[in-house]
Structure 1
Amino acid sequence: MGERIAGTTRHEIGDGPELPRPMAVVATAMVATMLEFGSRTGLSAALAAGPAQAAGLARATGGDARLAEEWLRGLAAAGLVSHDEAGYAWSPEVRPYIGGMMDVQPGVALFGALTRCVPAIAEAYHTGGALDDASYPQELAEAMQRMSAQWTGIILPDIWLPAVPGLTDTLRAGGRVAEIGCASGETLETLATAFPRITAQGFDLDERLTSAGNARLAARDLTGRVSLCHLDATTALSGGYDLILALSVLHDVSDLSGMLRAAASALRPGGTLLVVESPPLTGPAAAMLLATSVLYCVPATAARGGRPLGTLGLTPETLVAAAAEAGLSPVTTLPAVHPMVAAHAFGRTAERAPGDAGPGEPARESAAGPDHLPRVRGLRLAGRAARLTGQVGAAAPHVVSAWLVDRLLRGRTRAQTRGTRRLVRHVERMGPTYVKFGQMLASRADLFPAHVTEQLAALHDDVTPMGAAEFGRQLALATRQEPRLSRLNVTDRCVGSGSIACVYEAIDPDGRLLAVKLQREGVAESMSTDLTLLTALTRVAEKLPAAGGAPMADLVGYMSRALYGQIDFFREAGHLRRLAANLARYEEIIVPRVHEDYTCPVALVTDLVPGLADDVPAADLAGRDRVASRVLEAVGSMIFKDGFVHCDLHPGNIYIRPDGTVVILDAGYCVEMPGRVRDALRDFFINLALRNGQRCGEIMYDSAFPTGPPAGHTPARRRAFAREIAGLVRATTEPGGRFDMTDFGPRVFEHQNSYGVHPPADFAFPLMSLMIVEGTLRRWWPGLQVPAATGVR
């Protein structure tokens, strides 16, 4: 927000005159005090309820109208509050951060508490740089607890713990939990309420906090299950824990290696150490945490005799390396759902599953994004495989016998249609993973008869909706995660039902129609198990001679991680915003606007776009070609210009409205393309449009071996492969650059298999996305012609 003028950095606050940057920093700090005032008096929460005048706010909060008026004027000057004839209101960009999971009010309370610590820290600076915990005011600990409660009360029990396979089952059965640096035990109290059979111990070095916490727990009749101890966890952890928590504390411990060794020894076989620390940050976010480091973390750690790492000193790489030395390895990557915290799950190295990250290794990254599959224990995989085998074994006789009866009584065509419908319903019962694969196959009219693709199309958005009880539970969970959802009238009218979530109509306080995408129960655990199972089976299959050396497991793993990422609604919200910005150049294309102030881990809220229908869009030849060309041009632009691709444009995620506008929904399955892959694909399609098949083949070959071909792949083999692709290009394209991608793609893959030329997944999946969207368009309009260079401009 700053700009450099005549050698001075200037900074703007609200709409007033610009200030030199140092003065602007002071102004921002003063605004923070106004936010703390609003938080302490209740003014901030009252204003979040809707537009109000100063007198009304004063009455609602039992305070002085003149002070309320001056407070409103100050925040309006800062640009945080707007003012019109209806009164004052939080600005739209501020409203999501007053209340809810992203609430800034605990942060301003921490700011105020730290500010009041400055005199003591300044004195400590000249006397060795140490200040013990007892010298800090109680309000600082309370402010820190409020900060962490934003995510320990919601993200920890509802998102992070379920992401560790089998952990919530263990806790429901009565697991044992410990917390390092428990403060006054609010986190353990939350877990004891969510999992009534657990027993828990907390350890903290501040006796004031543990004493206050034990008194509160006694008042709530939890003393027999939760106890807080004024002890160093390094020596006090007794062992046999199913879960050990270390929530934003390890960077403050005096002996990190000793603490991690103690935790590793105290875990039961299969137990989990869940660590929360700050992710790598820069800019204002880093400055905020470094201020906390100066005023608390470094002095307090020094007073305990440790080497101060500071708030940002325990990077993911440092943490993983230190954990490896203690005998701990990452077991899964936990969802990133808060910008200021990152969670890590560790288990004892000896129990690490084959293929997991090794000692000192971070979890493997992928171009598909931060959506790695959680670790699934072998027993769970075996059980799931047995259940699937039983389901298939039970379904097969039913489908076959019913088909025979229909064949005799109704004829072959009706039998095929009804048989496919039964098969689709069995696929639906197998779970969301198999529904997703069925959705992809539904777009492949080139591979399957019409009666098959028509029935598979029911999987796009006609999966059986969740029942009333599940709907109520999930809506209640979403409202706990984001209390502002209670402002919406979420109806039980289901406007779309998919494998991962159902979409319900809602009305906001202003009467606008919204769409609430509500996640189904148990989706994360079900998908992680099934996708891990499929990847494991594929690894076995790719070793068979018939596989031809194709890296099938890498492709399936890539797709599996991307599919699993669809359960992260914050990530999908970001995808929708990015797609909307990238496609803004196309007036005919609509991407629904996300409502961040209502979105939470299990509910994604967007505008409800009217005029969507499942019918095949009616259009004359010219209108059809214009709309199809625009859709394909937009997809080509995603691939060749933006490098960010929606890979799931089946008929349930793309609609053509009667006025010819195109609506794109459900951006959970998007991938980021590396620049080298984007450039290679661009060159490939340019040469395809020019019918330069030889160069197309060379590009594909070189993309498969970016560091050079392996042994046995000679220059002659490269030329032979390129000649094969050149022949295919001549056979499948026409002068003028028109071709059939759904025919071209599978034949390319055949040549790749025969020559052992397998481009990486991030090259193959954009091609598959083109095949899916073209298959969708051809399902609507079978005679459609597609230009080979669509989007390459």
Structure 2
Amino acid sequence: MERAERPDLPSVTTTAALLRLGRILSTVSAGTARHLVRRSWRRLRGRPTTAADWPEELARIVERLGPAFIKFAQIASTREDVLPPRACTALKRLHDDVQPMRPQDVRQALAEHLGPGWARSLTDFHPEPLGSGSIACVYPARLSDGTRVAVKLRRPGLTDTVRRDVAILSTVFALAGRLPGLRGAPLADMAHAVGASVLRQLDLDTEARNLALLRDDLSTLEFIAVPAPVSALCGEACVVMDFVPGVRDHVEVAELSTERRRALADQTLRAVFEMLFCTGLVHCDLHPGNLRLTRSGSVVVLDAGFVYRVPEVVRENLALFFLNLGFRNGPRCAEAVLASAEQVDGRSDTAAFTADMTRLVDRYGGTTARDFDLIAFSTELFASQRRNGIYASSEFVFPLLALLMVEQTVRRLDPDVDFQAIARPIVFRAASGRPAGERRRRLETAG
């Protein structure tokens, strides 16, 4: 099958990896020791101790470990079905509330990017960040004509540490994927995808271009907003973009009316499916920090650092899979997976895989967000592929990541939303916009 270019992860020397691993273990040990000392001190003073405060220490440890670890923690924080709710709550702080840059680093970054006269281009610059992420911080400012903008500045001195951490984490996840209970899950591919995304996020010039593309791709969706970059002021270490009012205000789902929640769930899913099936430019990092609910009732998509271009053949097979999942047609779903597999040979048991898919699709097909468990579904799917000698394309990992990141947000907005029904017309529209041929006929005859 056609394969997209898969970015290589960095290689690091054994000495560098071991030195960094030593610092990682030291950081984890120090954080654990602090937590135990606090608990012991409370006992000595007769104060009650519970296990409820350990998630906060976990978040502090992850923050000290740096961007690569924070990225994995951000993904984990969206999975309240996997981690304890207290842990998810603590880790959510890492979306946009880590230790901000020092003022001198902010001034240095602005001078390096825009020159010593940066204040003429960016007036009324506020050093108090709107958001503070693992790789960059965002600040409010105005252009010389008075237009309000947000300025995203990359933290200094990240590159070498991030490269080492990505290599270490990729190795750890690859080893974990060999454990008996995890052999069905594509941990190595997911670690590769997330690691590559962290490295891409170091290049803010690419992010600015991605923002412009996403804004154009999603412009027809009424409640979805994407800030426009100010291209003339963007570069490798800086993105200047439209300031979107209300983004900083934290809005709880419970504050929105039922009608608005349903509309937002619908629009959020449509945005993801437009990316997956139509445009192919997929935002794979839609955690709550990058998918903001505003008091005006819209959803703002931020941070286009982790964006992936899905090849057309993968989009077509994914569309065929989703369409037949809604129709509960297991054999056709199996056909879509087999068509996208990297390897199907004489040792592959396609009949057994088709039987597995039929049972799986019978169980999950046509269900609402409340009853569809994407992690359980994906794990069973990959386990069957492995068991039956079918090697899935790693390109499917990126759409899976996009859906994993947004699933819990959509479920909180409207647990009864029928995501498969929302996908169906988008799939048909995507098919009708392509040249006629065998692949299009496969979509039109699905079900």
Bin for the TM-score computed over the shorter chain: 0.7 to 0.9
Cα separation, partners in 2 of 1:611 and 1:538, compared to 1, 3 Å? closer
**Which residue pairs with 1:40 in the alignment?**
none
What is the DSSP-based 3-state SS (H/G/I as helix, E as strand, rest coil) of the residue aligned with 1:567? Answer: coil
Q: Does 1:760 align with 2:393?
A: yes
Q: 1:399 aligns with which of 32, 35, 58?
A: 35
Shift in Å, 1:677? 0.5
Q: Which residue number in structure 1 is paired with residue 357 of structure 2? A: 725
Deviations 1:190-226 (A, max 9, x none): xxxxxxxxxxxxxxxxxxxxxxxxxxxxxxxxxxxxx
Is contact 1:594–1:605 with CA below 8 Å preserved after alignment?
Answer: yes
User: Which of 71, 76, 85 is matched with 1:450 structurally?
Assistant: 85
Say yes or no: does 1:591 pair with 2:226: yes
Q: Deviations over 1:83-139 (max 9, x none)?
A: xxxxxxxxxxxxxxxxxxxxxxxxxxxxxxxxxxxxxxxxxxxxxxxxxxxxxxxxx
Q: Which residue of 1 aligns with 2:149?
A: 514
Q: 2:286 & 2:188 partners in 1: Cα distance? A: 24
8 Å CA contact 2:369–2:415 kept in 1: the answer is no
Task: Output the CA distance in 2 between the equivalents of 1:512 and 1:424.
Answer: 36
AA matched with 2:121:
R
Structure 1 residues 751 and 686: CA distance shift in structure 2, 3 A: closer
Q: Is the 8 A contact 1:487 1:509 kept in 2?
A: yes
Paired residues of 2:140 and 2:150 also in contact (CA < 8 A): yes
Q: 2:272, 2:392 → 1: CA distance?
A: 21
Question: How many angstroms apart in 1 are the aligned matches of 2:258 and 2:40?
Answer: 41
**Matched letter for residue 777 of structure 1:** V
CA contact 2:67–2:198 (8 Å) conserved in 1: no
Compared CA separation, residues 485 and 677, structure 1 to 2 (3 A): farther
> Contact 1:732–1:740 at 8 Å: present in 2 too?
no
**Structure 2 counterparts to residues 53-68 of structure 1, below 5 A:** none
Q: Measure how far apart 1:769 and its partner are.
A: 0.9
Once the two structures are TM-superposed, the CA of residue 385 in structure 1 deviates from its matched residue by 1.0
> What do residues 721-740 of structure 1 show as CA deviations (whole Å, max 9, x unaligned)?
22223222222344xx5345
CA offsets per residue over residues 42-77 of structure 1, 9 Å max, x none? xxxxxxxxxxxxxxxxxxxxxxxxxxxxxxxxxxxx
The equivalent of 1:627 in structure 2 is 264
User: Counterpart in 2 of 1:4?
Assistant: none
Give matches, 1:712-791, under 5 Å.
712-713=347-348, 717-734=349-366, 738-740=368-370, 743-756=373-386, 757-778=390-411, 780-781=412-413, 783-791=415-423
Structure 2: how far apart are the matches of 1:387 and 1:402?
23
Q: Does 1:673 align with 2:310?
A: yes
Q: CA deviation at 1:453?
A: 1.1
- Cα distance, 1:485 vs. partner? 6.3
Residues 444/548 of structure 1: CA separation in 2 closer, same or farther (3 Å cut):
closer
Residue equivalent to 1:527:
162
Structure 2, gaps ≥5 residues long: 427-447
For the pair shown, the structure with the greater C-alpha radius of gyration is 1
Q: CA deviation at 1:420?
A: 0.4
Cα distance change on mapping 1:483 and 1:776 into 2, 3 Å: farther
Match of 1:656 among 293, 302, 305: 293
| Alignment map for 1:120-519 (pairs within 5 Å) | 367=4, 372-402=8-38, 409-410=47-48, 412=50, 415-416=51-52, 418-480=53-115, 486-489=120-123, 490-519=125-154
For the structure 1 residues 554 and 588, does the alpha-carbon distance in structure 2 shift closer, same or farther, using more than 3 Å as the test?
Answer: closer
Q: Give, as a single letter, the amino acid of the residue that structure 2 aligns with 1:648.
A: D
Q: How many residues align?
A: 416
Give identity over the alignment, percent: 33
1:84-123 to 2 correspondences below 5 Å: none
Rounded Cα–Cα distance in structure 1 between residues aligned with 2:397 and 2:371: 13
Structure 1: stretches of 5+ with no match in the other structure: 1-364
Structure 1: distance between partners of 2:360 and 2:211 = 37
Distance 1:511 1:410, change over 3 A: farther
Task: Report deviation, 1:470.
Answer: 2.1
Instruction: Give secondary structure in 1 for the equivalent of 2:201.
Output: helix
| Alignment RMSD | 2.6
Distance 1:727 1:643 in 2: 30
Cα distance change, pair 549–621 in 1 and its aligned pair in 2 (3 A): closer
TM-score by length of 1: 0.49
Shift of 1:400: 4.2
Task: Provide the rounded CA distance (Å) in 2 between the counterparts of 1:724 and 1:739.
Answer: 22
Q: Give the aligned residue type for 1:743.
A: D
Q: Measure the CA separation in 2 of the matches of 1:729 and 1:444.
A: 23
Distance in 2, matches of 1:512 and 1:662, equals: 22
